[in-house]
Amino acid sequence: MRMSFAALFLILLATPATAEPPRAVPASMPQVQLTFAPVVKRVAPAVVNVYARSIVQAPMNPLFANPLFAQLFGAMRQRVRQSLGSGVIVRGDGVILTNNHVVTGGTDIVVALSDKREFKARVLLADPRTDIAVLKIDPHGEKLPTVEFADSDRVQVGDLVLAIGDPFGVGQTVTMGIVSALARTQVSASDYQFFIQTDAAINPGNSGGALVTTDGKLAGINTSILSRTGESIGIGFAIPANLARRVLEGALGGGVKLAWIGADGQQVTADIAASLGIAVPNGVLLKSVYPGGPAAKAGLHTGDVIFSVDGQPVDDMQSLNYRIATKKAGETVRLHVHLGRKPADINVALALPPENPPRELQPVGGRNPLTGARIENLSPAVATELQLPLTANGVVIVSVTPGTPSGGYGFQPGDIVRGVNGIAIHNVGELQKALTGATAWALVIDRGNQRMTLNVQG
């Protein structure tokens, strides 16, 4: 039956403008032989190489394994360390996304364009929580090629994707694969891990490069691989574009201030689901809810379960943190929850984690085991930044300087000082006072789920 033009026009009017084109497998050999060359030609000029050089102190003699001992005998020398990665131009005036681990510690960062021109770059922001860094180069008024962001929530398992970067420094390389999995959360130590998994070949040097859809949009920032050899075995991970875009907005607007829900939780196991009367084991069981925080104000309590955020499922704390981090403080999200053993939908107004008590960031000086460290009071804001438990309190070590006593004794960022010489430590002032004037120190330190004691004689 032939259809009139008027009838066809009415059907087109009735079709939603946002309807996606149907997805289909190739139906003929000409379709199989289609090429991605036009997409690569458009996107590749916006993918760059990133070189980060830094000066590190190294022992001149391998016998001086302890840096403090080597420094004492003047046996240290300076060595130039260079890391190689990739990056993606996302603004024509020279704003570039890459991985934080590509530029960490770098004092001299150089970006090389696909046409081999090189520019010195400055770091606008480097965020270890998300492993995203934002760089800026000066193209002297030239508008550089860019890659448009995709909505990474629309990416599906089985979609074809291209990975573009500079593996092993051999030069810009394009590989193809599919999206193997979504929402991978048990891959790294980040609280905001929520990776797109792909079998497109990703190798050292690809970090910070582009994972693009077949229509040439940025689906994610390639960041890591799972491998026993250090080379690609077809399991690579990319940070979703939606989180990368959120970090970019923060870098250009006064800093990354990730929204906070004020709760901590764990994955719902089969046993937990059975005990709560939940048919299928999914969601996040709340272990703690910060008093006066967004979750508490919305009526959530310890023992409640969050199943989804704005319709997107969450199955562990990392996926919940990711969904919240892609929102802004002040926004309201819709949660589907198990509230008091009954399903419900509630609205939660997100906020920034409070700095209560105030940070009081201070360096530790003088003659004691913590000399060279920086310390501050723990608050929800600090705990969130350092990926510590929501209820953590006391005094935390924020950074440690190599070659100082704090570095020599093995202290690490995130260590919480609980006591010195039998005195309980609650704030920075108490810690500074307890360290001063002593000739021996017995320190009690919490690191993760471990409590350690260090005894040092002056």
- 7 burial (CB, 10 Å; 0-12 / 13-18 / 19+) is exposed
**CA angle centred on 227, ends 222 and 228, rounded to 5°:** 155
| 13-to-5, 9, 21 alpha-carbon distances in Å | 12, 6, 16
Distance (Å, whole) CA 377 – CA 226:
36
Distance (Å, whole) CA 58 – CA 65:
9
Dihedral Cα 219, 96, 129, 406, nearest 10 deg: 150
Active site residue 101: yes
Distance (Å, whole) CA 87 – CA 97:
6
Q: Which of 86, 207, 379, 406 is catalytic?
A: 207
Q: Which of 83, 86, 101, 304 is catalytic?
A: 101
Q: Tokens at residue 255, please?
A: 């800093």
Dihedral Cα 150, 151, 155, 161, nearest 10 deg: 10
- 456 burial (CB, 10 Å; 0-12 / 13-18 / 19+) is middle
- 341 burial (CB, 10 Å; 0-12 / 13-18 / 19+) is exposed
Active site residue 180: no
* Cβ neighbours, 10 Å, residue 153: 15
Active site residue 131: yes
Sequence-separated (6 or more) residues with CB below 8 Å from residue 301: 286, 289, 340
Distance (Å, whole) CA 33 – CA 61:
59
Q: Which of 83, 86, 131, 406 is catalytic?
A: 131
The residues annotated with a catalytic role in the active site are 101, 131, 207
